[in-house]
Amino acid sequence: MSESAPDETSIMAEFDAGVEEMGFNRYLNNFPLNLPGGMVRSFLEDELNGLDRPLVGSYPSSGGNEDLHSEKARTVTWREFFADVDSALGIDPADLQRLQRSVEMSIFAGEEHDALYRILESAYLRLRLLGYSHYDLTR
């Protein structure tokens, strides 16, 4: 199966439509679990050789949706995937975690929310341009 690489314009149109329909948090679903300090990453870092297992076909289970993964995801380990995520974020992991805590503790949307939104949106776009599918990033 040959996948055509999506371009930035089509990815952003898909992203904007998804956010419009579902809201930012629902559209990105479990994407934050893959960020530094996220639950999936923490679990795999704690598990012996967890990071060196293939991204597709190992924990967390895809629940029979293996065909939704991109060709890119089929060729990397969790360690390589997390390295791509970190690179796409463009921010020091400690700074990102401080920003996330600040947003979690804030009742009202403000500058921190906007900054985190921009970082996650930009990282999502960069990862899609690398060849990851929406499903790879949000499952």
Placement of tokens 């948090």 in the chain: 25
Is residue 71 packed enough to be buried (19+ CB in 10 Å), middle (13-18) or exposed (0-12)? middle
Q: Is residue 44 part of a domain?
A: yes
Tell how far CA 68 is from the center of its chain: 15
Which position has the higher pLDDT, 106 or 43? Answer: 43
* Phi, psi (rounded to 5 degrees) for 24: -60, -50
Structure tokens at 89: 């974020």
User: What angle in degrees, to the nearest 10, is found between the helix axes of 111-130 and 93-105?
Assistant: 130
> Would you say residue 2 lies in a domain?
no
Task: Say if 76 falls within a structural domain.
Answer: yes
> Is 127 within the bounds of a domain?
yes
The model carries a pTM of 0.86
Q: Would 79 be classed as within a structural domain? A: yes
1 within a domain of the structure (yes/no): no
Q: Is residue 87 part of a domain?
A: yes
Boundaries of domain holding 68: 8-138
Tell me whether residue 77 is in a domain: yes
Please give the tally of structural domains in the chain. 1
Residue range 38-72, pLDDT digits in tens: 899 888 988 878 899 999 887 655 566 777 899 99
Write out pLDDT tens, residues 10-38: 999 999 999 999 999 899 999 999 999 88
The mean of the pLDDT values for the chain is: 87
